[in-house]
Amino acid sequence: MTDTRHSVESLQNDPGQVPVLGGWAGYLMRGLDGLFALLSALSLLGIVLVVVLQIVSRLMLPITLAWTEELSRYLFIWMVALSAGLILRRRRHVTLELFHHRLGRRGQALYQSLVCLLLGGFSILALPPAWKFASIGAFQTSPTLGIPMIWIFLSMTVLLALVLFYSVIGLLEAVLAMRGAIRANGEA
């Protein structure tokens, strides 16, 4: 939670960055960010524990635990799905930075709105096929764990839904920043 607050505060204090939502909406967003950060961290911790168990079982036990490799893969998939929105929120995704640092607040807000529109548009297009793919998993189980595969395939739907959600929030922040920049300059 501290990392999320630090990231949000650094975005608010940098004059070239697009400010994040404040008030009750900002409080709610920080809570959601903290929840997804916690779930992602728990997934990473689960991966570490399962891989250590796999190593110990191969080196020190007479049997090898076959399910550990499968579980670590599924935890990794869910970690990526749960953290994709946070990466967009914290603006840590892959971006073209040749000119980005030279833009003022309004230019960065316009750039952020373009990125959010593209990512949100892609998510809208990809969500129905992702849901269809996830529903296929209802009839399958994983080879060693016996988990219904819908829980694994659903991760793509969650990833796209989170990217869409955070794209809408990023677009809202960019629009508000552009409106604020126009008023601050006295142009409108």
Say what the pLDDT of residue 20 is: 77
Say what the pLDDT of residue 133 is: 93
CA atoms within 13 A on the CB side of 185: 10
Q: 39-70: buried (b, 16+ CB within 10 Å) or exposed (e) per residue?
A: bbeebeebbeebeebbeeeeeeeeeeeebbeb
CA dihedral 37, 81, 163, 104 (to 10 degrees): 50
Which candidate, 116, 23, 151, 37, places its Cα nearest to that of 84?
37
Tokens of 26: 């900002």
Say what the pLDDT of residue 130 is: 96
Q: Could you tell me the mean pLDDT of each successive run of 10 residues in the chain, 188 residues long?
A: 46 57 84 94 97 92 89 96 90 69 80 91 96 92 93 96 94 85 39
> The whole model's pTM is what?
0.81
Say what the pLDDT of residue 96 is: 63
Amino acid, res. 126:
A
Ramachandran quadrant class, 63 (left: phi over 0; alpha: psi -120 to 50; beta: rest):
beta
**How far is residue 151 from each of residues 79, 97, 140, measured CA to CA in Å?**
13, 37, 10
**Residue 54 dihedral angles phi and psi, to the nearest 5°:** -65, -45
Q: What is the secondary structure of 137-169 as a DSSP string?
A: GGG-B-TTT--BTHHHHHHHHHHHHHHHHHHHH
